[in-house]
Amino acid sequence: MKQEEIVKKVSGVFGPDVIQATTEFRGEAAVTVLADKIVEVCRFLRDDPELSFAFLSFVAGVDWYPQTPRFEIVYQLYSVKHRHRFRVKARIDGDSGADAAIDSVTGLWPTANWHERETAEMFGIVFRNHPDPRKLLLPDNWKVHPLRKDFPVTGTEEDTPDLPTRAGGS
């Protein structure tokens, strides 16, 4: 199935109230969906026999600061059965905690577990109903989100511990 056919099928099922935008770049299409409908749209993409997106390649975050909505969550899907790819995006607003939140898709694709955890940690986005929201990369006591565009280039006191000085010098 061609990319434009996938877009047409998804748009036909969910309509303009859910499908907020469609884009194409270098022959690959994407749909931006209403964040509250992400699980419903992804379930359709996985379960529809003509689509069969049984594999979630990745989940990633994008910070569009200072735009509103600020964050975009990107889901790259692959159909092993039909050998086609597709991208789904959802935009969410907020700066931290429940303000920047979206439902988890781990119930559809278990591989989303680590992808969502990394995205949560790096951007401060909450994945509601995630089965294991522990950090993967940063120390537990850090409250910073290093992939946000407003993160200081030189770091913060929290993430730049005092380094030992050389003996007898600076």
* pLDDT per position as a tens digit, 106-155: 999 999 999 999 999 999 999 999 999 999 998 888 888 999 998 877 77
pLDDT of residue 170: 46
Q: Cα(165)–Cα(170) distance, rounded to whole angstroms?
A: 6
Nearest to 23 by CA among 69, 83, 72, 88: 88
Report residue 92 as tokens.
Answer: 């969410």
Bridge partners of residue 89, in order along the sequence: 32, 74
DSSP letter at 37?
G
Ranges of residues in the chain with a pLDDT under 50 are 163-166, 168-170
Q: Cα(60)–Cα(140) distance, rounded to whole angstroms?
A: 21
The reported pTM is 0.88
Cβ 71 vs Cβ 37: under 8 Å: no
| Alpha helix positions (H), the chain | 3-14, 38-47, 112-123
Buried/exposed code over 43-65 (b: 16+ C-beta within 10 A; e: otherwise)? ebbbeeeebbbbebeebbbbbee
